[in-house]
Chains A and B, each alone.
Chain A
Amino acid sequence: MTDNDAVLSVRDLSVYYGEFRAIKNISLSFQANRVTALIGPSGCGKSTLLRCLNRMNDLVPQARVEGEVVYSQQDIYDPQIDPAQVRLHIGMVFQKPNPFPKSIFDNVAFGLKINGLTNNIDEAVEKSLRSAALWDEVKDRLNENAMTLSGGQQQRLCIARTLAVEPEIILMDEPASALDPIGTLAIESLMRDLTEKYTIVVVTHNMQQAARVSDETAFLMMDEDRAGYLVESGKTDNIFQNPKDERTEAYITGRFG
C-alpha cells in the first residue's frame, strides 16, 4: 500500500479517555475510492479510531488525542481547524439509524440548510436519495415523518443525509448491525456503489461482511491494559486468505473474539 493514493492518513495516533488509554500508536492509511474495513474483537478501539477520523471524539468529555490525522495535507487536529468543517468533508453514518423526527425531505436537507447551501435544494435532495437507493421508495411521501420508514430505509435515509453535503469520505460505524438481513444486504450493495465517488471506512463485527464489501482491511486488538493497537492491515483478500500474523488468522477463523 502506497501513501500516494491515501486520502486520509493516521500517524502514530493514541486516544485517551481521562486516564484510560483507548488506542495506542496506530498508523494507517485509507485509499481513495475504496472501502476499508476496521475489524477486531469488541473493545479493541475500532469505533474510537473511526470517531477520531472526523473529530467526533471532540464531543466526548475528557477525550484527548495524540498524533496526527492528515487529510488534504493538513492535520485535522491542528488548533486552527474547525471541527465542523472537517465533518463536512468527512461524514459519518451511525450504528443505529438516527433520523431526526422531521420529514424525509427535511432530514436530507438538514445539512444543506445549516451550511447555507440552499440553492437547488430539491435537486440536491433527490440526487442524494437516488444515490442512497431510496428515491423510488420515498419519492411520493417526502413530507412524511422519517420515523415512519423501516429500519433499513431509515439507515439509507441517514446515508442520503450524509451524501447531501457531498463529503469526500464517509465513516460508517457498524451501519448494518441494527438491521434485518434484507436491510443489511441493501446497505452492503449501496456501499459498493458509493465507492465510485466516495471513500468509505467501515467498522464491522461481521467477518463475512468485511470480506464481502471491503477492499482493504485493518485488524485491531487490545493489549492487557485494554489499549487497542493495530495488528496488520492490507488488501482484504490477503488479510482473509493469507494473514501474516497468527493472531489475525486466529480471529478470522473464529478462534476468539
Chain B
Amino acid sequence: MRNTNLVNDPVTFHLGKRKGSLQEKIVGFIFFLCASVSIVTTIAIIGTLLIQSIPFFQEVGIWEFISGDRWSPILKPRAYGVLPLVFGTSLVAFLSLLVAVPVGLLLAIFLSEYSPKRLRSILKPMLEILAGIPTVVYGYFALTYVTPQLQKIFPDLMVFNALSAGLVMGLMITPMVSSLSEDAMTAVPQSLRNAAYALGATKREVATKVVVPAATSGIVASFLLSFSRAIGETMLVTIAAGATPKMTLNPLESIQTMTAYIVQLALGETPHGSLEYNTIFAVGLLLFIFTLVINLVGHFLVQHWKEAI
C-alpha cells in the first residue's frame, strides 16, 4: 500500500492499544473525587448537626426546644425554648425585607427597563460593591452610625436593637434582590414588550403590567433566597442586634438571633461535649433546616420560571 504512515504502522492499530488509558482512568477518578467533595460536605454538615445535637435533645426533649418561650441555656434558671431566638431572627429578617424588597425590585426594574447603558455601567458595580462588603463591616456601620442616627428619631431605641440591624441588613441584601430579579426580568422576551407597546402602553405600564407579572416566579424566588440569606446572616446581628433572647416584635428592643447565639457561645470557648456546647448544634440544625427549605422552594421557582420562558 502507498501509505507512508510515519506515526504508527497499522499493526499498532490492530492491537487496539489504548493510549494512556490507565492515566485516563486515574485522572477521571481524581476529578470525580473532587466533585464528590460537595456531597461529602453535605453529608458531613447534616451528620455533624444531628450527631452533636442528639445528646441535647435526649436531655431536653424536642418539644421543649421548639415550643418553649424562654431561652437561657447558661444562666439559671435554665430554659431551652428556642422560640425567642426564632422570633429575633424573624424580626430582623422581616425588617430587612421591608427595605430590600421595594428598593431591590425598583432597582431591578430600573436596570432592566429604564437605565441607559452608561448609568447601568455605574450602578451595577456600585451594587456589586455593596454585595461584596464583609458583614462585619455592616455590623460596625449599624452599631456606630445607624443606631445613633435612629436614636434621634426614636429616643427609646436601645444601643443594641433589631431595627438598626434590620435596616442595615436590608441595605446588605438589596443587591441580591435586585440582581436576581433583574435576571428574571431581562429573560422576559422582547416580543411581549413590543406587543404591549403596540397596544399603546407606556413604559411604566410595560414594566409593571407586562414584565413584572411575566417574571413573577423569578422575582419571588429572589425574595426567598434573600430572606434565607438574612436568616443565616451572623456578624451584623451579633454586633448590632444584641444578646437578649426575647419574644418580642418591638424593633426598638435588643434581641438575639439564632446565629448570634451560636457566635456568643463559640466566643466563650465552651467545654467540648458539654450541654451548652451541644445547644449550638441544635440551634444550628434548626437554622440549617429553615434556610434549606426556603432555598429549595426558591430554586424550584427559578427552575420553574426558566422552563416557563
Contacts and interface: CB of A to CB of B under 8 A. Distances in A.
Interface string A109-133: 0000001010000000000000000
B6 interface: yes
Interface string B111-148: 00000000000000000000000000000000000000
B116 to A, nearest CB: 33
Interface secondary structure of A, over-half rule: loop
Interface stretch (A80-88, A94-102, A202-210, A222-230): A80-88
A88 to B, nearest CB: 6
B55 to A, nearest CB: 48
A81 B10 contact: no
Contact of A80 (B8, B12, B16): B16
Interface string B1-21: 111111110101110111101
B18 A72 contact: no
Contacts of B12: 85
Contacts of A165: 7
Given A168-B3, A197-B2, A85 B8 contact: yes
Interface string A62-101: 0000000000101000101110111011000000000000
B16 A166 contact: no
Interface in B1-44: 1-8, 10, 12-14, 16-19, 21
Contacts of B10: 72, 89
Given A82-B19, A82-B21, A84-B19, A89 B13 contact: yes
Contacts of B3: 168
A interface, how many residues as a size bin? Answer: 10 to 19
A82 B18 CA distance: 5
A154 interface: no
A72 B2 contact: no
Contacts of A86: 13
Given A72-B13, A74-B13, A85 B5 contact: no
A88 B8 contact: yes
A72 B6 CA distance: 16
Nearest to B1: A32
Contact of B14 (A72, A84, A168, A197): A72
Contacts of A32: 1-2
Contact of B7 (A33, A74, A88, A197): A88
B17 A82 contact: yes
Interface in A122-180: 165-166, 168
Question: Secondary structure of the B side of the interface?
Answer: loop
Contact of B5 (A74, A84, A89): A89
Nearest to A115: B7
B16 A85 contact: yes
A33 B2 contact: yes
Contacts of A81: 13, 16
Contacts of B19: 82, 84-85, 115
Interface string A22-35: 00000000001100
A120 to B, nearest CB: 10
B21 A168 contact: no
Contacts of B7: 88-89, 115, 117, 165-166
A49 B19 CA distance: 25
Interface in A176-228: 197
Residue of B7, B14, B21 contacting most chain A CB atoms (<10 Å) = B7
Contacts of A115: 7, 19
Contacts of A82: 16-19, 21
Contacts of B13: 72, 74, 81, 85-86, 89
Nearest to B6: A166
Contacts of B18: 82, 84-85
Nearest to A88: B7
A115 B5 CA distance: 14
B308 to A, nearest CB: 25
A168 to B, nearest CB: 5
B21 A166 contact: no
Nearest to A120: B6
B2 A166 contact: no
A194 to B, nearest CB: 13
A89 B21 CA distance: 18
A74 B14 contact: yes
5 contacts: A32-B2, A72-B14, A82-B19, A85-B8, A165-B7
Given A85-B16, A89-B5, A166-B7, 11 more contacts: A82-B16, A82-B17, A82-B18, A84-B18, A84-B19, A85-B12, A89-B7, A89-B10, A117-B6, A165-B7, A197-B2
